[in-house]
Amino acid sequence: MMEKKALDKPKIEILSQKDRVIFKPYGLWVARTIRDVEQTCDEILEKTYPKFLIFDLSKLEGFDTAGIWLLQRTIKKFEDMNYKVELLNASDSFLNLSAQLNLYKPSFEKVPVQRSFFEDRLVNIGIATKNLFDLTVNLIVFLGEIAVGSFDVLKNPRRLRMISIFFHLEKFGLNAVMIISVIAGALGLVLAFQGEEQLRRFGAEIYTINLVSISVVREVGILITGILVAGRTGSAITAEIGLMKINQEVDALNTFGLNPMEILIVPRILALIFIMPILAFISDIMGLLGGGIMVLISLDVSPKLYIYRIGEAITMGSFWVGIIKAPFFGAIIGIVSCFEGMQVQGKAESMRTCTTRSVVESIFLVTLADALLSVFFTKIGI
């Protein structure tokens, strides 16, 4: 085994005669041994020899294109140093393949140069600026297209894709109920636990109920729904539409004279607008339930009293303040995720950036909208 290895190992035997040097390559000159081949070649290139060089290939055990290329490269380098080089005992297949390789000799100067690190950064800043600008323009165009698409649908309600809407209602709604319930419930629980700890110091622990119910109904329930839907459903929409772009499905729709806005985008946005209030309502209930469990355990009130106090704490106004935000959030998430999906182009790489952007932007905009609406509702005194 060891002997076999030694035989296979590429090396070059050097035989000096009076006016010439004979190189005899041994072993396997293939991709697998190419490191050794390169080393051997570099070694013989370092010395100086008489004018005539001969490569005797009779002992060459095996070769492939990589091996031949290195041999050719070495010979070329010798020739550039004004040596006369001759090949001896080359097999037919060596010569054939060698000739074939000569046809494909690459010219390295034709490979486009890549930019240096610093240039690259500079160009990237430029690209980012341009992208931001393009994105803004695209977003405005997109909003316009949605408006036109929605208007077309409104003018001719039969064009409304009811089946598609119901399909998406189920996908976005039913399947999200579980995760939203669990998280809203847990948040209610934590809120009650922390609130009760603080309020007990003033002997006002009974107001935990007010704290929990008002914060859940006005803020936490809807906000957590918005964030979860943005992460869960928004990313799914972007990926789905992005894949359709890559597969040229969107182009195919256009060739049938169908408007992708009408078929892909409007149903999704409408479904999100319809489903968000329902999800927000469920989230409220689950938040109150979670808070209730905590309150019942630590405050020793009866369920009946808990419900009664909730009724006193939250007005109808507070309830609607929470729910009324839901369709806005649905629209934001729908528009952002569909928009980012349509921005996907060709590469799988762009799918990644667009999905990330979709989630980040939706969550950011949902939170921003929540803050603005909260301030607004407080100012007008609801």
Q: Which is nearer to another protein, 66 or 206 (CB)?
A: 66
Q: How far is the CB of 95 from another protein (least distance, A)?
A: 9
Q: How far is the CB of 108 from another protein (least distance, A)?
A: 7
Q: Which is nearer to another protein, 38 or 240 (CB)?
A: 38
- Per-residue binding string, another protein, 319-358, x by CB under 8 A, is ---------------------------xxxx---------
Number of residues that bind another protein (CB under 8 A): 31
To the nearest 10 degrees (0 to 180), the angle between helices 266-299 and 162-169 is 30
| Span interacting with another protein, options 29-37, 180-188, 236-244, 301-309, rule CB under 8 A | 29-37
The structure tokens listed for 5 are 């290895």
Using rule CB under 8 A, residue 45 touches another protein: no
Supply the Cα-derived Rg of the chain in whole angstroms.
36
Alpha carbon distance 203, 220 (integer Å): 25
To the nearest 10 degrees (0 to 180), the angle between helices 316-343 and 235-246 is 20
The structure tokens listed for 22 are 């004979």
The structure tokens listed for 102 are 């000569």
Q: Which is nearer to another protein, 136 or 345 (CB)?
A: 345
Using rule CB under 8 A, residue 65 touches another protein: yes
| Span interacting with another protein, options 43-51, 60-68, 258-266, 267-275, rule CB under 8 A | 60-68
| Terminal-residue alpha carbon distance, the chain | 88
Which of 12, 21, 30, 57 touches another protein by CB under 8 A? 30
Distance of CA 176 to the CA centre of its chain: 22
Closest CA to 283 of 222, 211, 362, 192: 222
Q: How far is the CB of 153 from another protein (least distance, A)?
A: 33
Q: Which is nearer to another protein, 28 or 217 (CB)?
A: 28
Q: How far is the CB of 251 from another protein (least distance, A)?
A: 15
Q: Judge whether 268 and 334 are in contact, CB under 8 Å.
A: yes
Q: Which is nearer to another protein, 79 or 312 (CB)?
A: 79
Q: Judge whether 216 and 191 are in contact, CB under 8 Å.
A: yes
Q: Which is nearer to another protein, 104 or 256 (CB)?
A: 104
Using rule CB under 8 A, residue 32 touches another protein: yes
Q: How far is the CB of 256 from another protein (least distance, A)?
A: 22
The structure tokens listed for 251 are 């182009």
Q: Which is nearer to another protein, 83 or 94 (CB)?
A: 94
Q: How far is the CB of 34 from another protein (least distance, A)?
A: 5
Residue whose tokens read 């509702």 = 377
CA dihedral 278, 225, 350, 133 (to 10 degrees): 100
Alpha carbon distance 290, 248 (integer Å): 47
Which of 64, 152, 219, 249 touches another protein by CB under 8 A? 64
Q: Which is nearer to another protein, 34 or 85 (CB)?
A: 34
Q: How far is the CB of 70 from another protein (least distance, A)?
A: 7
Which of 21, 60, 70, 333 touches another protein by CB under 8 A? 70
> Which positions from 76 through 115 interact with another protein, judged by CB under 8 A?
93, 96-97, 100-101, 103-108, 110-112, 114
Distance of CA 244 to the CA centre of its chain: 15
Secondary structure (DSSP) of 170-233: IIIIIHHHHHHHHHHHHHHHHHHHHHHHHHHTTT-GGGHHHHHHHHIIIIIHHHHHHHHHIIII
Using rule CB under 8 A, residue 9 touches another protein: no
The backbone torsions φ and ψ at residue 247, rounded to the nearest 5 degrees and listed phi first, read -75, 0
Instruction: Dihedral sign for Cα 284, 288, 291, 294, please.
Output: negative
CA distances from 177 to 174, 199, 206, 233, 238 (A): 5, 32, 30, 12, 20
Residue whose tokens read 């890559």 = 246
Q: How far is the CB of 349 from another protein (least distance, A)?
A: 6
Q: How far is the CB of 138 from another protein (least distance, A)?
A: 19
Q: Which is nearer to another protein, 33 or 225 (CB)?
A: 33
What residues line the site for another protein (CB under 8 A)?
A: 30-32, 34-35, 38, 64-66, 69-70, 73, 93, 96-97, 100-101, 103-108, 110-112, 114, 346-349
